[in-house]
Structure 1
């Protein structure tokens, strides 16, 4: 009898656990939960996510992929309410396939009213579609009556004829995931390679089984098909949240995820067909597309203008053509590596998408005798192209190979861009440069040259705590590029008002800005300032930071650990030299000690010195980050490095009355 009781209890526990991974099985205990059982700081959690991919055969379409998604989310804090607005993107830009479709099967909100569970169904008014661009649409579900403590459930089906890549299985987010499971049932005719992303372990098992399907032929006869099927199952539990910190690139690149990329199609009685198994396959197939490769060889539409532009010019052809395209063709904000209307139409209408502008640029550069190539890119918001796939790219720039084999990067979509200064959206690890024979090679998209910010200040401190001074700031490369993008079209008076507010100045005068439109020179900004908020006077002493208003006030790296790299975008060299006159009647009582520290492997350095000479404080500080990307293995050292910087930069000079 006791054995039977144990068996019954075990069966009940197993059944209860299984029920928790099914929709429409919300319990009173789950709704009463006020915090996550592991991560008590979580604003919400995914109680479970299940995903199953199947292949269905249709007489007109052949095999079609259908993926069934089920997800159950618990809201713990008001910051978690955003997870009740669910967005499902799907692709609608195929030229030879039907658009993908999303069908909402179930969607509910659960709440407690006393001891009663209230279940609210999502109505059609809470489900709508939003067109993101010409290629993507989004199904949006706004769950009703969601509050702290609510549970939401959703089941939907994504249908696609595109079998080149299956819907990814993401099992990590910015909130914890209690349980995640993915099942795929794939006919033997399609061989996929599963690629794991992220830092979470996943259980995996696979088996081959017999399968069959029935379908009608074109005459209405019922036919059956028998084949072997590869059934795969991925499973993981208690997946921690991955929180986005400063300098993260795109956090989506680092979430735990499984991608399935089609490698081989092997139909009965046919030779196996390799599909995008290498980068060469991918780039060669793109290059051979009519609306890519052929666009590079069209020259008649611009020949007259370029001939006139280069008349008697031999030494700066690249810059002349680059500036011509930037200043004459306006980017319409559209991505893609295929032209939409074609390079000729873009040239005629003086506007185009990124492909039309930069493929036109490549063609013009080659016409002028330079060695130019298109470079395929996945933008930061599109993720990293970690495996060979046409679908992973969404952008294209130009590359010019110089005699010493150096590659110069050019993107004519931004008026402030210059050679090797491309927009941040395109600075995403590596691109693939396609040569004229269709072969390709990897190109680093991050700059090696440091961008410089050089600040010098001459100031005088008054006995009432007022500081008056003059500042000169010099910015090069990416610092200058960012400044021009942010402030190039701003009204001078409005900018000065914001500067006064940002730095707590009481007055800014004699403002001057040099080289705003001359991209070959650094930005130089000078102005005089008055501030009443940089000094503390306590009794007979004056306290102030020698960095005045330039110090880093808090460490940007707060996480205890970090699994993904730190992305600074570009190497930096920041330097500050200040001369601050001590007011009459005061002398230096104490000052910060000098500091000279460096990171491992020359990743960065920091120097800081303060001295006093004949009533004047002389201050110098420099910060260098020598690599655009710093691997997570250096995180603890980087965090401590910045901790020391923050502590040092916020130390005070103390003056005392004579």
Structure 2
């Protein structure tokens, strides 16, 4: 989508260059909040942070100030000053700082400017300063359009205070940068200010669970002086003027913000951090009609169709006709055509690991047999369309990127694209970035709420889910000997997403290395004669079979203690915190079933064994069952966990935590066998 770069009407002169000079007073500061070098002896002498004595580091001060510039069209400028105290050795990694910035193309990009850094230490009662060296600043390409300035602060040790300041200039008015008040370490003071010109109207939303310490807005009158050159044909005329405008000055502050702790079964932490988010909703320059920005999904859908790196890539697919004809030569119906094209793209293309929904050129990517998620999946859409199928791009926010905003048409909330193809009444969601993915199965990173299909007039939202459950079935037939030795054969079967994840892991490690690591995984158990079945049959269950052996004593023993779950017991509850504020996201429904049969040693009887257990959550959203029985000299154990919906609310956390606690306790119980007298 093109980014507009417009100046106010009274600045818009023929072939003119505008110089916009404005000085806006700050609110209530006795000293410059953006001035470096205000670190105190008290901060340097700090040994612990009183609000969190376990903290390895603390953000002492994080200040950001956004304003608008008109020197080169219209730009947004963010100035930031960040000061961090290192309290423990574990906090030293805070000295590695990353600054992400966006580049769509050479003329449409953000810039990181005025980068300065300083490390402060107390040496002999005096403050020692070490300046950041330019050689300690590196640039990396994080994604197709995202780059990162990586900074390694100098001379950092326990007790140091590090300080960094920088400016980001951006042409992207439509989506101001978020301001994040919370971090993985506690934040003593985080403040964000904005000087809002009257031409722009932004909706701002607060996310997370922390509340403001201060929130303020006041309006001041400000005289704006400006100069421009007016083209007079063979010469130019210098002109100047000024005008009084009302400027809205906003201030938001959070104080003593606790460290954010990542917990199991979460989507991206950006969904839960306390942050301020902005979206441009209206532009109204003097003497002009208001322009409403991305106020509807139909407006965004139309704009994407005209985007040269998105919709225009799909308008002329005739060049792919020969490719499509060859790929679908053996296809007899529409569904088989879709599957053939999906398989073709997966076999021909290699994903470079980059996430994007923009592609510079899908034809060049096809020729190179390599590309980003956008190159590959927009190519997939183009081939499906050339085959006559009803296919559209579907914008997605990956799990690490956070949730898409279904209530607001914000393009920045997406970072990925897949294909949605309709066959009959069914819509199949396809991602061709990974060869091991069966048709219609999305990778784990894409199972994140809903995705937006970009078809006209207004697109539509569809749930991001796989039709197949995530299923793991483990069975074993074992024999217990009087010495405590245990031998037998085990079979593990995986289907759905778990099968894909296993195949991807095996591919990454190599089959032989994977089997070797699996063989030596548990020191108490020996695996032998390992075999993998259906490794290349992506639509079939992946199976692993092997012999399992554990040594016993030299002589028969009077009492035998058997851990009936073998090496598959759930030993720890993943939900450790007493309370949780955010949802539990398993991504997909899951079944885990274990069926173990033991032949008991002759001359022994069961003295003690676990009792059966059935635990169900309301509406059968989750269930754990554990059955134990002895029949004809055989001990039979069945453990079954069913997670029947992908997402649980925070209100359901306590019930889910208790279910897992009871499962851990049950898996830890032993069977006691006594030798008959």
**Please, what TM-score do these two structures have when normalized by structure 1?**
0.91
Task: Report if the CA contact (8 A) 2:337-2:387 is conserved.
Answer: yes
SS in 1 for 2:319: coil
Aligned to 2:96: 85
1:62 pairs with 2:81: no
Q: Work out whether residues 263 and 274 of structure 1, in 8 Å CA contact, stay in contact via their aligned partners in 2.
A: yes
Aligned residue runs from structure 1 range 636-655, under 5 A:
636-655=654-673
Segments of 5+ residues of structure 2 without an aligned counterpart are 1-27, 230-236
Q: Aligned partners of 2:610 and 2:68: how far apart in 1? A: 69
Please give the alpha-carbon distance, in whole angstroms, between the structure 1 residues aligned to 2:124 and 2:654.
48
Worse overlay, 383-392 or 545-554? 383-392
- Structure 1 residue 28: deviation in Å? 2.7
How far residue 311 of structure 1 moved from its aligned partner, in angstroms, is 3.8
Alignment gaps of 5+ in structure 1: 1-14
Which residue does the alignment assign to 1:508? 527
> What secondary structure, in the 3-state scheme, does the structure 2 residue paired with 1:93 have?
strand
Residue 164 of structure 2 corresponds to which residue in structure 1?
154
1:399-425, CA deviations, whole angstroms, 9 ceiling, x for partnerless residues? 122433x32110111101123311222
Which residue in 2 is equivalent to 1:4?
none
* Inter-partner Cα distance in structure 2 for 1:194 and 1:536: 72
Match of 1:237 in 2: 255
Residues 339-358 of structure 1 mapped to structure 2, 5 A cutoff: 339-340=359-360, 342-358=361-377
- Once the two structures are TM-superposed, the CA of residue 127 in structure 1 deviates from its matched residue by 3.1
Tell whether the 8 Å contact from 1:19 to 1:25 is kept in structure 2 after alignment: no
User: CA 1:466 to 1:522, structure 2 compared with 1: closer, same or farther past 3 Å?
Assistant: same
Within 2, Cα distance between the matches of 1:493 and 1:244? Answer: 34
Counterparts of residues 216-227 of structure 1 (less than 5 Å): 216-218=227-229, 219-227=237-245
Q: Which of 445, 448, 451 is equivalent to 1:431?
A: 451
Residue 542 of structure 1: which of 548, 552, 560 is its match?
A: 560
Please state whether the residue corresponding to 2:521 is helix, strand or coil: helix
Question: Structure 1 residues 627, 22: closer, same or farther in 2, change over 3 A?
Answer: farther
Q: What is aligned with 1:330?
A: 350
Alignment check: 8 A CA contact 1:496 1:508 kept: no
Cα deviation for residue 492 of structure 1 reads: 4.1
Residue 7 (structure 2) aligns with: none
Name which of structure 1's ranges 419-428 and 409-418 shifts more when overlaid on structure 2.
Answer: 419-428
2:545 matched residue in structure 1: 526
Tell whether the 8 Å contact from 2:628 to 2:635 is kept in structure 1 after alignment. Answer: yes
Corresponding residue number in structure 1 for 2:412: 391
**How far apart are the structure 2 equivalents of 1:109 and 1:192?**
37
TM-score under structure 2 length normalisation = 0.89
For the residues of structure 2 that align with 1:572 and 1:150, how far apart are their CA atoms? 47
Measure the CA separation in 2 of the matches of 1:506 and 1:491. 23
Match of 1:619 in 2: 637
Q: Note the alpha carbon deviations across 1:303-325, whole angstroms, 9 max, x for none.
A: 12322443463332221121122
2:221·2:245 contact (CA, 8 Å) conserved in 1? yes
Show the counterpart of 2:442: 422
Which residue in the other structure is 1:408 paired with?
Answer: 428
Q: Which runs of structure 1 show a deviation greater than 6 angstroms over 4 or more consecutive aligned residues?
A: 15-22, 535-539
1:141 pairs with 2:159:
no
- Does the 8 A contact of 2:479 with 2:598 survive in 1? yes
Partner of 2:83: 72
Further displaced range: 583-592 or 567-576: 583-592
Q: Answer whether contact 1:90 1:102 (CA < 8 A) is retained.
A: no
Query: CA 1:536/1:307 → structure 2, altered by over 3 Å: closer, same or farther?
Result: farther
Query: In the superposition, relative to structure 1, how do residues 225 and 151 fare at CA in structure 2: closer, same or farther (>3 Å)?
Result: same
Shift of 1:520: 1.8
